[in-house]
Structure 1
Amino acid sequence: MAKTLIRGARVFDGHGLTGPRDVTIDGRVIAAEAGEPDEVVEADGLTLLPGLIDAHLHLKGPETLGKLVSYGVTTGLDMASWPASLVQSLREQPGVSDIRSAGLPVIGRGGRHAQFGMPEGAYAGTPEQAGEMVRSRIADGSDYLKLVLEAPGEGGPDQAAAAALVMAAREAGLLTIAHAASAGAYDLAIAIGVDIVTHVPFGEALRPDQVEALAAAGQVVVPTLTMAESISKLRGTRLEDALETVGALHDAGVPILAGTDANAQPGVPPVEYGSSLHRELELLTRAGLTNAEALNAATAGPAQYFKLADRGVVEAGRRADLLLIAGDPLTDLSATRSITRVWVAGVSK
């Protein structure tokens, strides 16, 4: 297997940049020792980051993965795609972004997502049917369970059914992710104890008691500020409400992950694949995160909370998902856009 020596790069270690050091790629992983390399990449003055992880997107096809990796996004966490054959066809493709997927989400019959033409299996049933629904997702290859929650009376799954799904998923070892785009949906996400909540309310801020409850329960939030920004431009909602919510969550110690809601769905506010994650980092810093915290939200953070133990940091034995950039992203976050080279499981792009 080919070895590549990246010589003299400053490395983002989760807190700051190291002094110049060497990093060796041996096949698919980062090696502990250099040995004799087949290629040397001179990286003096450059910065080496873990490959970026978008913690909320929607797959479209093979072109999606190529576009993601061109912007240094080496892992994409898909939050709803079907049929299962589409997801399986996009897994473990060499040289493009690696994916995990919720597969078919769980929705209510009267909610907005019912307009997207999902198959019958997407609709929440009774609490007694929760175990069967979770087993079906696992059989289809879903990596986690995604529930689309709505405020009471707005057509989403009812609390009893949603709570039963969370319990069944947890018993089966699956993480649970809740779409919640309103304060009312957040109340439900908190009540049923999902692991991760994606989005923040669009056009309103979370209440202080909700922020406190999320922090106390150890729940994680993927705010998708790029989607909030897109909605604000189309519908006139206040992006400042979303930024205020993220700032309050951050101050309360709620873990924040970087996700964009990148999609190509007709009728949905547009968010571009790949480039939007760099914008998400910028918006996170506007909300109060430091540059280092924003970078963690797109690297070690999602790797930790989505249980991807093989990536997210530049360490020996980890998957060689790496991003080489010009500049110092801790002083100028736009440096993440100055991409020199990307590796996905050791494959150079």
Structure 2
Amino acid sequence: MIRKLIFILGIALSTAVLAQEPENNSNREIVFKMVNVVPMDKETVLSGQTVVVKNGRITSLGADAAVRYGKDALVIDAKGKYLVPGWSEMHAHVPAIDELGPMKDVLMLYLANGITTIRGMLGNAKHLELRTKVRSGEILGPNFYTTGPAFSGQTVTTAERGIEMVKEEKAAGYDYLKLLPGLTKETFPGIAKTSAQLGIPMVGHVSFAVGVWAAIDAGYSSIDHLDGFVEAITPGTDTLAEQETGLFGTWIAYAADTTRIPKLIKALKDKNIRVVPTQAIAERWLSPLPAEAYANDPDLKYMKPDEVKNWMNAKNSYTNNPKFTKERAEAFVNVRRKLILACQNGGVELLLGCDAPQVLNVPGFSTLHEMKYLTDAGLTPYQALRTGTVNVASYLKKTDTGVIKTGNVSDLVLLSGNPLTDIGQTRNIEGVMIGTKWLSKAYLQTELKKLEKR
């Protein structure tokens, strides 16, 4: 009986060790033994590889028999599993509040889903502190880039104020300027000119009064949500008020002229403007499906009940709008799919991003949905994976990320199946490597359990 109790206690202690806060293994080798590597520099799988990581870098990669490592290494038996570069979420939202606690919770939702880099799209001064603490290792989270407080019709009422805000956010140290709707032909030009002069890029929405052609000419760094795209290819939009077109053109997409798409794609390509589709918004919130279709979505347990209720109300408000029809909603989703595929085929770099937390989009989980929606638009799984790896590395000018090779940073995700043949395998995470820390599946599951709200 005593031996049995000792055995049970041993199992419990072993599980506890696996699930505890991961150690900083900066001076210790971590070895992924006999793993299938999806390097992402080309569409291939390198079978039976052993990958050695130390000090946040990949120090060795090759056939198992040819790779050497020390006796004190942490060896992870990865036989039959797949190692991919960590993914980036380029339209993330972290609470813009004065408390770090809720921010840390959101960062863990991203990490637990293999997201090792995020761009926060609605920031405040506390996000600058968060960025510093993440970079120093004091807070566990994805590599963090942040915009400042948003430029909108409410915050920018004069051209002079817009210029001042750009200067303030550049001086404060934000990475990007977040543009929201409501800017005008009077307020936008000064923001764009000062952004270019000071070298702090504009990202986000395209205001209706500005339009996508002016946004392209102004040299947006990335246009998110395909904002302004539907309006640009729909005849007669210039005769309508903004509220008549609907969010992202929901009420007019059925009348879009897809022969106008090539002109738009060429303009984006010529200006090297990246596109963050956030297709998850269209496929979930603005889809033809009723709110009840999402009532049992397992992702929602990570959101507070009040927030889920608000999301369901927003979904119902959309489907109950007099302008809503199932056919028009389907047309809206399909036009966006065509735009996404045209970007891919036309050489416009797509960046992975889904806008969460947002209606029916839970941080981290929705990014994995987004990859599936990209394949629904016609991208191959490899192309969808590139939007969150190789393309982001190019965008950030980080030559040591986005690809698994010797010398690159060790932001990695271990999967149980091959995502090149089934993009749904991105959900089957066996562990995440962020810098010098290995987050085991047991640890991630324990952390997710803590974050359940219902």
**Other structure's SS at 1:20 match:** strand
Q: Partner of 1:172 in structure 2?
A: 198
Whether 1:330 and 2:420 are equivalent positions in the alignment is: yes
Cα shift at 1:129:
5.3
Q: How much has 1:214 moved relative to structure 2?
A: 1.3
Partner of 1:118: none
The one-letter code matched in structure 2 to 1:253 is: G
Instruction: Give CA deviations for 1:84-136 in whole Å, capped at 9, x if unaligned.
Output: 12442354144322211112121123xxxxxxxxxxxx42641x555532231
- Separation in structure 1 between the aligned mates of residue 390 and residue 104 of structure 2, nearest angstrom: 25
Q: What is the aligned partner in structure 2 of residue 63 from structure 1?
A: 105
The change in CA–CA distance for 1:108 and 1:246 in structure 2 (over 3 A counts) is: same
Structure 1 residues 191 and 130, CA gap change in structure 2 (3 angstroms): same
> How does the TM-score come out when normalised to structure 1?
0.85
CA radius of gyration, larger in: 2
Once the two structures are superposed, the pairs formed by residues 39-78 of structure 1 within 5 Å of their partners are 39-60=74-95, 61-78=103-120
Alignment of 1:217-296 (within 5 A): 217-233=271-287, 234=315, 235-236=318-319, 237=329, 238-263=332-357, 269-296=359-386
Equivalent in the alignment of 1:85? 126
Give the Cα separation in 2 of the matches to 1:334 and 1:213. Answer: 33
Q: TM-score, normalised by structure 2?
A: 0.66
1:341 partnered with 2:431: yes
Query: Cα RMSD over matched residues?
Result: 2.3
How many Å apart are 1:160 and its aligned residue?
5.0
Aligned-partner residue type, residue 107 of structure 1: S
- State the one-letter code of the partner of 1:252: G
In structure 1, the residue matched to 2:240 is: none
| Inter-CA distance 124–345: structure 2 relative to 1 (3 Å threshold) | farther
2:147 aligned partner: 102
Are 2:85 and 2:412, in contact at CA under 8 Å, matched by a contact in 1? yes
Q: What displacement does 1:184 show?
A: 6.8
Distance across 2 between alignment mates of 1:273 and 1:299: 18
8 A contact 1:94–1:347 mirrored in 2: no
Q: Which structure shows the higher strand fraction? A: 1
Cα distance in 1 for residues equivalent to 2:201 and 2:165: 14
TM-aligned CA distance change 1:182 to 1:32, over 3 Å: farther
CA contact (8 A) 1:319 1:345 kept: yes
Change (3 A) 1:44 1:347: same
Quick one: distance in 2 between partners of 1:183 and 1:313? Answer: 40
User: Shift of residue 158 of structure 1?
Assistant: 2.2
- Separation of aligned partners in 2, 1:183 and 1:45: 54
- What's the counterpart of residue 31 of structure 2? 5
1:213 is matched with 267
1:10 to 1:306, Cα distance in 2 relative to 1, 3 A:
same
CA offset digits 1:270-311 (Å, max 9, x no partner): 310111111100110111111111001011211221334442
Other structure's SS at 1:6 match: strand
Alignment partner, residue 299 of structure 2: none
Task: For 1:302 and 1:100, locate their aligned partners in 2 and report how far apart those are by CA, in whole Å.
Answer: 12
Larger mean CA deviation between 311-320 and 214-223 belongs to 311-320
Change (3 A) 1:85 1:134: same
* Deviation at residue 182 of structure 1 after TM alignment: 6.6
**Contact 1:11/1:48 (CA < 8 Å) preserved in 2?**
yes
Q: Secondary structure at the match of 2:31?
A: strand
Greater mean alpha carbon deviation, residues 179-188 or residues 272-281: 179-188
Partners of 1:314 and 1:95 lie apart in 2 by 22
The one-letter code matched in structure 1 to 2:109 is K
Q: CA deviation at 1:159?
A: 3.4
Same amino acid, percent of matched pairs: 27
Match of 1:297 in 2: 387
Residue ranges of structure 1 left out of the alignment (5+ in a row): 110-121, 151-155
When residues 40 and 228 of structure 1 are mapped into structure 2, their CA distance, relative to the original with a 3 A threshold, is same
State the alpha-carbon separation in 2 of the partners of residues 55 and 239 from structure 1. 21
Q: Which residue of 2 aligns with 1:123?
A: 156
Contact persistence 1:7–1:43 (CA under 8 A):
yes
1:212 partner letter:
K
Contact 1:190 1:214 in 2 (8 A): yes
Cα pair 1:260 1:277 within 8 Å, conserved: yes
Indicate the SS of the match to 1:67.
Answer: helix
CA separation of 1:230 and 1:186: change in aligned 2, threshold 3 A: farther
User: For the structure 1 residues 318 and 341, does the alpha-carbon distance in structure 2 shift closer, same or farther, using more than 3 Å as the test?
Assistant: same
Give 1:38's aligned amino acid. A
Equivalent residue letter for 2:126: S
Partner of 2:219: 193
In 2, the alpha carbon distance for the partners of 1:41 and 1:348 equals 10
